[in-house]
Structure 1
Amino acid sequence: MKRCIICLQELDLFQGLEREQFANLCQCTKRKRLSKGHYLFHQGETTSTIYLIKSGKLKLVQTALDGHETILDVCGPGEVLGEMSLYQEQNENSSAIAMEEVRICCFSKLQFESLIKQDPSFAMRIISYLGQKRYETMLKPSKEAGLTVKERLLRLFYRLAEQYGRKTPTSTLIDLKITQQELADMIGSSRVMVIQALKELKAANIIDREKRYFVLKDDPCISVHTFN
């Protein structure tokens, strides 16, 4: 019980809830483990479940009618999936696939509705949370418009470093095992183009590779704000 309460309290969405409300929520919470490659949910499914990632990482993959796959995002500990079911019942627009072993807390829509009845201010936090996520989703394409493959890739590395980076004296190791094809899928490019961009970034001493992890070198001439 204690670990679940701490897990919830770390989320902005649950800030301000009374301890008794946390306890009631945790008592009804289901826990799930996923092995690498297993699906949390499939594109097109209708779900009324909200998922909180406690550990591990999942990728959100959208499959087009022609079979082409695009990785929309990589989600890690503390992030919430399926939250749109709080707003309306709709089909998932992507599949969530475990990139490693993942532990998840599962909440039903009814549990959130019960919290709203107990604490109406919780509804405002949900509205604010969903609004911010929608704004970030809408803003992403406009930020990348007109950028080269190398620029989009570097921007992606900075974002991943911010989310999953482990700082060293001269660099940041991105604690995420990700393939060249997955990088290509995330920026909407081909693997060939990504390989070329990686060569150029490595030649410029901006990125490197340690085993299966990418490393972003510290460079005072490059500012992360340039790519935000």
Structure 2
Amino acid sequence: MSHEYCVELVPIFNHLPKESMALISKVAQHRTYKKDDYLFRADESGEALYIVHSGEVRLFHLTHEGDEQLLRVLYPGDFTGEWSLFNTVQNDETFAQVTMDSEICVIPVDKFQEMLLDYPQVALKLLEEMSRRLSQSQEQTIHIANRPIAKRLAWYLTSEIGPDRSTAKVHLPLSRKDLATYLGTTPESITRAFKQLEERGLIDQLSSDVIVVPVVDELRFYI
């Protein structure tokens, strides 16, 4: 695996000159994880910034009842562990589990903190990304709290569509099981919600992971 390529995948780094990215890549450690391995578990000490080079990683919390609440799925170029830069006591209540054999670039916290001092533009990009994620998390909380499952699903589908689309074909990045945990429900309820939206004429299901939205504004209005 090329560490240079791994760094180039990440938006907080890829705006830097090649020489700077090469220096950053030298401190990145290469680790290989098998399916179902954990990058970290809840309450473990913060260690590093984790960059997905290949594979896939699920970030989730556990509810008080022991059920998973999916937060995000990381794909190549995505990263996690940024909060450990500011809080090395624990990583809050997040689990990071590998869902397929994956290659991960790992930058230790102390090294990354040095980078933020050497490259202020990286710090600004990091803050932008953290702000975006916080806003996304707040929006997720608003739209899944005490709302009918069909409306949660409608919100999720519109979030996968660009702002200026009148019609759209959505390729779902999540499995039905992961979509259910993301929206705080069960796969059976998600299946019923898809059927409800289809019966209302708001969507057409071409397959389990391809959904057509004939009139995007109508789906947004339904939310």
Short-chain TM bin: 0.7 to 0.9
Q: Aligned equivalents of 2:216 and 2:65: distance in 1?
A: 42
What corresponds to 2:171 in structure 1? Answer: 173
SS of the residue 2:12 aligns to: helix
Q: Which residue of 2 is the match for residue 112 of structure 1?
A: 112
Aligned to 2:26: 27
Which SS does the other structure have where 2:64 is aligned?
coil
Q: C-alpha displacement at 1:83, in angstroms?
A: 0.6
Consecutive unaligned residues in structure 1, runs of 5 or more? 163-169
Amino acid at match of 1:214: D
Partner residue in 2 for 1:167? none
Structure 1 residue 127: deviation in Å? 3.0
Contact 1:21 1:115 in 2 (8 A): no
Report the TM-score, using the length of structure 1 for normalisation. 0.77
Deviation at 1:22, TM superposition (A): 1.4
Moved more, 200-209 or 141-150: 200-209
Q: Aligned partners of 2:171, 2:124: CA distance in 1, in Å? A: 37
- Residue 206 (structure 1) shift: 2.0
* Compared CA separation, residues 35 and 160, structure 1 to 2 (3 A): farther
C-alpha distance in structure 2 between counterparts of 1:205 and 1:58, whole Å? 31
Cα distance, 1:42 vs. partner? 1.2
Is the Cα contact below 8 Å between 1:52 and 1:78 reproduced in 2?
yes
Using a 3 Å threshold, how does the CA distance of structure 1 residues 196 and 126 change in structure 2: closer, same or farther? closer
CA 5–188 in structure 1, closer or farther in 2 if over 3 Å, else same: same
What is residue 188 of structure 1 aligned with on the other side?
A: 184
Aligned CA-pair RMSD: 3.1
Unaligned runs of 5+ in 2: 163-167
Q: How far 1:44 sits from its partner (Å)?
A: 1.8
1:86-137 C-alpha deviation (Å, 9 max, x unpaired): 1222422221122223222111112212223323343333333323322332
Instruction: Give the aligned residue type for 1:134.
Output: L
1:32–1:156 Cα change, 3 Å: farther
Q: Is the 8 A contact 2:14 2:21 kept in 1?
A: no
Q: Quote the residue 1:45 is aligned against.
A: 44
1:71 shift after superposition: 1.4
Q: Which residue of 2 aligns with 1:217?
A: 212
TM-score (norm. length: structure 2): 0.79
Return the alpha-carbon distance in structure 1 between the equivalents of residues 85 and 24 of structure 2: 16
Q: 1:200 aligns with which of 196, 200, 216?
A: 196
Kept after mapping to 2: 8 A contact 1:32/1:104: yes
> For 1:55-94, what per-residue CA distance to the aligned partner results, in whole angstroms no more than 9, with x for missing partners?
2222212113332221122222221111101122242222
Instruction: State the alpha-carbon separation in 2 of the partners of residues 11 and 223 from structure 1.
Output: 35
